[in-house]
Structure 1
Amino acid sequence: MELESLALQEKNKVMQSYNNDKEFLHTFFDYENEESSYPARLKELAGRTFERRQLAETIRSFMEPFGISANANTHIEELAKNAVAVVGGQQAGILTGPLYSVHKAISVILLAKRQREKLGVPVVPVFWVAGEDHDLNEINHVYTEMEGRATKHQYRGNFILKLMASDAQYDKQVMESLVKDIFGKFGETAYTKDLLDEVLSAVEQEKSFTQFFVRLMNGLFKEEGLLFIDSASKQLRELEKSYFVHLIEESEQLAEVISKKEELFAEKGFGSPMGAELDAANLFYIHDTGRVLLSRKDGFFVNESSGLRFSKAEMLRIAQEEPWLLSNNVATRPLMQDMVFPVLAFVGGPGEIAYWAVLKEAFHHLDMKMPIIVPRMSITLVTPQVKHALDEKNFTFDDVMSGAVFTAREQFASGLQDERFDSVVDETEKILGQQYEKIAVFTEQQGPMMQELLEKNLRFHTKQLDYLKGKAVEAVLLKHDAELRTFGILEGELFPEGVLQERLYTPYTYLNSYGPTLIRDILGLPFVMDGTHKIIYL
């Protein structure tokens, strides 16, 4: 296994500014993404209080059904005392979702290890599962690579209500069938049977998308002691009671400072990632019809389409007595996370960092500073087959990204066409047309029926010539199939559908080829979280 770094051209304007523009960074964030920020953040956290014991027990209770490793147990105990946390999160995708879920966990683990060593204090890695998200269409599918194309495999469940991922229960037979279908596309290796048995066991043991996700992720990272918490956990809601009260009491002011900050963000050309509204409550309510967003109107918290209407006093009662009926939105989730956890640093992707950028004053309003924001590592895995194809064609990874491989394939394919053959067929078609024109002189005298028959006969022969040309093209492509397939492999594996591999494919594609030590071996590589793209040759 070899590691390479590549400075990709950053197309995301927010990330360009985050990495290069100090004025942007200081306007929208509290800390620079620098080593010097960590002691300052640690000092700030020391001045705040957290419900550490209850938090540790909440995590322990959530993780127990999935298995708590010795390292995870140590981290839970440290968190109960004086540890700080590096936190990252993701939605609960099938088969862990796209590779970037795993890349985010790897980033969290490596950063926690590094800061534990640098600061000389316990720093624990935490994965915050967005189990309260209700957009199941974002998590109900997996892609595999087939003949240079990304093929979508979707769970065919019928979820009518806006159920949270943690409440959405899958049909075990349907999920089992989907998993088997996906594994069938991987190809048989020495690791396939054990890997498939492990995943099918998880399907059988669990019920919801979140549980299925956590069981697999916990299995992949148990040796590292990665801690998991579900944002929709009922026990976590109990811990969040007083924080929900705080968010309700300050909802008007929070909506105002978030909207104002997003206006500034948009003025500077970065868009409106949240679409913040001045009347937003920035909280969801778990209703009979699913998870519905609340807004503020005439002193009440409402969702008009569902007929919901709560006074502030009723909202405060719900927060105290039935907190599991409340749920954070994209604006309040980071705030809640920072009230619950002593967050040293948050590891996020480009989309998340754009959301966080409009929350600086919201944090300040709640007497907090934003944690250090660290972009997750971006990684591409290169199999031996793909490495061989790169070497054979004398291409680099950058050639694939820049479109040079696509251009080369088009040139190669066009060069295969036999222009002499096409010319002879075209000439035959022209002569045929001329002869039929001569015949038409006679058929005109014999009435419209013969004329129609002649035209039909000509179309038939023309169609046969076109068929011949098509078959000739097929024969040429078939003859050069292996070479064309090489181009397809490079694009399909490394830059499928014009996006990075990590945004589409499940890690199980690579676990099936490389084996169960893949995660451990990746974590052992000498990574530097410097913003460059990482290429790993398996």
Structure 2
Amino acid sequence: MPNDCISYQESGYFSDLISDYLNRKTELEKLYNRFPTLDNFGAQIDEKSANFSGNRALLSETIERQYRGLDVSDITRKNIESLKSSRTFTVTTGHQLNLFTGPLYFLYKIISTIKLAAQLKERYPDCEFVPVYWMATEDHDFEEINYFNFKGKKFRWHREVSGPVGRLDTEGLAAAFELFSAGLGAGNHADTLRKLFATSYLEKSNLTDATRHLANALFGAYGLVILDGDDTELKRQFSPYIEKELLGQVSHQEVTDTIDTMHGYTIQVNPREINLFYMEDGLRERIIREGETFVVNNTPMRFSETEMLDIVQRHPERFSPNVIMRPLYQEVILPNLCYIGGGGEIAYWLELKSFFKAMDVTFPMLLVRNSVLLVTEKQAAKADKLQLTWKDLFRKPQDLVTEKTKALSPFELDFSAQKDFLRRQFAALFDIAQQTDKSFSGAVKAQEAKQIKGLDNLEKRLLKAEKRKHTELLSRMTHLQQELFPNGTLQERFANFSEFWLDHGEALIPKIASVVQPLENRFDIIVL
């Protein structure tokens, strides 16, 4: 193949907002603090050092407590301990508690985070940099996380639930395991996957512990630190900001004002008047203010202002930040420099800078995570034989077929030249018509439209005929594209890591990590 990567912008899978952000469009500079380059991290370190008021000792001790019962690598243990130092900073990514990691990009997020932390250590050797995976334990959308795809089949966790997913017990996952195990077949790599699933989901009591165990098994050797924000002591640090949100509703005003300046872009999330949920086991519902009373949506619970503020002090763990407030919570308790996320995540972070400023919290640098397409040697050979570039394969299927049909045809299938010639002829006729009767001008215009439409139809018929002529070759191209883009979407958004682990085992993660470069903003194609 002529290259092994394309830019995010060329891939066609990123929004205008993210493409313009990556291109550092001047109009967007007001939406972020610093663009992520190695040199820019120096100023970010200085600003976070001066502005961070979180309790480092408590953070380290809390994470250590959350790791109890796990086999913790020396490098992860060292990273947890180092968080007590004022010269230690974090690089953070976050992700839902998808069953068995969910889609492939779970791996890419964490690998990006680990790689960036290592690069920062090389550039700023006087500091320590800890890669952090923030588990989205408080999310309540079970349908988004209760399945994964393996070899085109969906393995789903069937049950009725409500409330924060991290607190769910793992009842019912034995059935999913039996089906998955049967589909794995025999071999050492298959046995490793069985063990990973069983020790994570069948031997742990809740989804938080299961996900922590799995992520630690995959990435503990790289020093990854896994954090659960659903924690009373961590929430206690955040309680002043919870009070400000309840009483002042600062986030709604600041984010709304920012959105009003983002003309022409699709808005990722819109703020609510109060961007907090009330949370207990089996319950996570919006808090709504009605006059002097706070109401928990879809429940009979109602609190006066005094009662609500009293709960903040006594039970801060009952308040769960939504998508607008969660980033603030993260940055309050972590000495964080950079958040790494997908395009959709970075899009909503770009709405938040003025809110952070109003709360006097340093806004982190924002990095679009690495994206990867995993390709077998056989698939790469097919692409070469079919004379397809990676850019070709990233096209929409219909566009790929059309472009390749035109390339295969021995004659020109585009009638643009003929249409332009026709328009020039009718322009001359129209000049004459304007000097005569107005009705003649209308007749000229109507005839022009008819002739152009006729050429359009001839062009479509000719293209269709050429497609039939090259059916077999075009079919091989689209079949390869379907293999690499299952269900017409990016592989990383559909397939699970186990599909590739089955062939490559423990070599899979090091192979990906050896290729991706977090700060280069490119979509890597990795031939396995």
Q: TM-score under structure 1 normalisation?
A: 0.78
Matched residues in 1 for 2:480 and 2:304: separation?
Answer: 58
Q: What aligned pairs does 1:30-179 form with structure 2 within 5 A after superposition?
A: 30-47=33-50, 48-82=52-86, 83-120=88-125, 121-146=127-152, 151-159=153-161, 161-179=162-180
Q: In the alignment, which residue of structure 1 is the partner of 2:418?
A: none
Give the drift of 1:158: 2.2
Matched, 1:356 2:346: no
Give the drift of 1:344: 0.9
Matched residues in 2 for 1:123 and 1:505: separation?
Answer: 31
Q: TM-score under structure 2 normalisation?
A: 0.80
* More deviation, 486-495/509-518: 486-495
* More deviation, 98-107/11-20: 11-20
Matched residues in 2 for 1:483 and 1:111: separation?
Answer: 42
Q: In the alignment, which residue of structure 1 is the partner of 2:232?
A: 237
Give the drift of 1:192: 1.4
Q: Secondary structure at the match of 2:515?
A: coil
Matched, 1:369 2:362: yes
Q: Pick the aligned partner of 1:523 from 496, 513, 516.
A: 513
Q: In the alignment, which residue of structure 2 is the partner of 1:226?
A: 224
Q: Does the 8 Å contact 1:84/1:343 carry over to 2?
A: yes
Cα deviation digits, residues 180-212 of structure 1 (max 9, x gap): 25x44xx55552123223322322211333332
Q: In the alignment, which residue of structure 2 is the partner of 1:498?
A: 488
Give the drift of 1:168: 5.0
Give the drift of 1:259: 4.0
* More deviation, 484-493/242-251: 484-493
Q: Does the 8 Å contact 2:147/2:155 carry over to 1?
A: yes
Matched residues in 1 for 2:398 and 2:102: separation?
Answer: 28
Q: In the alignment, which residue of structure 1 is the partner of 2:451?
A: none
Sort the Cα spacing of 1:349 and 1:411 in 2 relative to 1 into closer, same or farther, 3 A.
closer
Give the drift of 1:314: 2.1
Give the drift of 1:377: 0.6
Q: In the alignment, which residue of structure 2 is the partner of 1:426?
A: none
Sort the Cα spacing of 1:305 and 1:377 in 2 relative to 1 into closer, same or farther, 3 A.
same
Sort the Cα spacing of 1:286 and 1:169 in 2 relative to 1 into closer, same or farther, 3 A.
farther
Matched residues in 2 for 1:92 and 1:303: separation?
Answer: 25
Q: Does the 8 Å contact 2:251/2:324 carry over to 1?
A: no
Q: In the alignment, which residue of structure 1 is the partner of 2:204?
A: 206
Sort the Cα spacing of 1:518 and 1:245 in 2 relative to 1 into closer, same or farther, 3 A.
same
Give the drift of 1:81: 1.4
Runs of 4 or more, structure 1, over 6 Å off, are 409-412, 482-485
Sort the Cα spacing of 1:214 and 1:317 in 2 relative to 1 into closer, same or farther, 3 A.
same
Q: Pick the aligned partner of 2:333 from 333, 340, 346.
A: 340
Q: Which amino acid aligns with 1:391?
A: D
Give the drift of 1:170: 3.3
Matched residues in 2 for 1:24 and 1:308: separation?
Answer: 45
Q: Which structure has the greater CA radius of gyration?
A: 1
Q: Does the 8 Å contact 1:145/1:492 carry over to 2?
A: no
Q: Does the 8 Å contact 1:191/1:513 carry over to 2?
A: yes
Matched residues in 2 for 1:410 and 1:24: separation?
Answer: 35
Give the drift of 1:138: 0.6
Sort the Cα spacing of 1:484 and 1:531 in 2 relative to 1 into closer, same or farther, 3 A.
same
Q: Secondary structure at the match of 2:4?
A: strand
Q: In the alignment, which residue of structure 1 is the partner of 2:268?
A: 273
Sort the Cα spacing of 1:388 and 1:285 in 2 relative to 1 into closer, same or farther, 3 A.
same
Q: In the alignment, which residue of structure 1 is the partner of 2:31?
A: 28
Q: Does the 8 Å contact 2:60/2:81 carry over to 1?
A: yes
Give the drift of 1:13: 1.4
Q: In the alignment, which residue of structure 2 is the partner of 1:454?
A: none
Unaligned runs of 5+ in 2: 406-471
Sort the Cα spacing of 1:259 and 1:307 in 2 relative to 1 into closer, same or farther, 3 A.
farther
* More deviation, 331-340/162-171: 162-171
Cα deviation digits, residues 150-171 of structure 1 (max 9, x gap): x333222222x24433335332
Q: Which amino acid aligns with 1:224?
A: Y
Number of positions where the alignment pairs a residue of Structure 1 with one of Structure 2: 457
Q: Secondary structure at the match of 1:244?
A: helix
Q: Does the 8 Å contact 2:112/2:517 carry over to 1?
A: no
Give the drift of 1:215: 1.5
Sort the Cα spacing of 1:485 and 1:154 in 2 relative to 1 into closer, same or farther, 3 A.
farther
Q: Secondary structure at the match of 1:292?
A: strand
Matched residues in 1 for 2:258 and 2:209: separation?
Answer: 35
Q: Secondary structure at the match of 1:87?
A: strand
Q: Secondary structure at the match of 1:313?
A: helix
Unaligned runs of 5+ in 1: 413-481
Give the drift of 1:484: 9.6
